[in-house]
Copies of this chain bind each other. A is one copy, B any other.
Amino acid sequence: MTEHTESAALRVALAYHRAWTSGDVDAAMAYVADDGFVCRAPGGDLSGKEAFRDYLHGFVQVNTGLTDIAAFGDQEHALLFYCPHTATTTTAPAAEHFTIRGGRIAESTLVFDRLSFAPPQ
């Protein structure tokens, strides 16, 4: 990460981020709240841990690398900005905003441009 503020919430978000970007979905999911989790993702919400696990698993299959750009956090929130690499792009950014409660990710909001990650036509 080129930018980094220390916070308990950021530590949880980064642990999650490092787990899934290294391909370990199970380790990543250990940082996600068991109950009531929702991820607001482009195109629709993912409600519940199992729906999110499937979504993350799908992306991990096509993720080939990572460029981390920024990571910030305060007591209850974290915000990451990075470029996940796929066969289509290595320069399209994604941002994730996390709300952390009790050491787990209770909510996340994810943004990326779906068209930038679509296979070339």
Which residues on A are within 8 Å of B, measured CB to CB?
A: 2-3, 5, 40, 42-43, 69-70, 72-74, 77, 79, 81, 91-95, 97, 109, 111-116
Q: A3-B77, A95-B111, A113-B114 are in contact. List 17 more A-B contacts (CB 8 A).
A: A40-B91, A40-B93, A42-B92, A42-B113, A43-B115, A43-B116, A69-B109, A70-B72, A70-B77, A70-B97, A79-B79, A81-B97, A81-B111, A92-B111, A95-B95, A111-B111, A112-B113
- Closest chain-B Cβ to A35's Cβ sits at a distance in Å of 23
In the complex, are the beta carbons of A95 and B81 less than 8 A apart? Answer: yes
The reply to whether A114 and B111 contact each other, CB–CB distance below 8 Å, is: no
Min CB distance, A69 to chain B, in Å? 6
Do A111 and B97 have beta carbons less than 8 Å apart?
no
Contact in complex: B111, A94 (CB < 8 Å): yes
Which residues on B sit within 8 Å (CB–CB) of A74? 3, 5, 72
Shortest beta-carbon distance, A78 to chain B, in Å? 9
CA of A72 to CA of B80 in the docked complex: distance in angstroms?
10
**Among the listed B42, B69, B91, B109, which residue makes an inter-chain contact with A116, where contact means beta carbons less than 8 Å apart?**
B42
Residues of B contacting A93 in the complex (Cβ-Cβ under 8 angstroms): 40, 95, 97, 109, 111
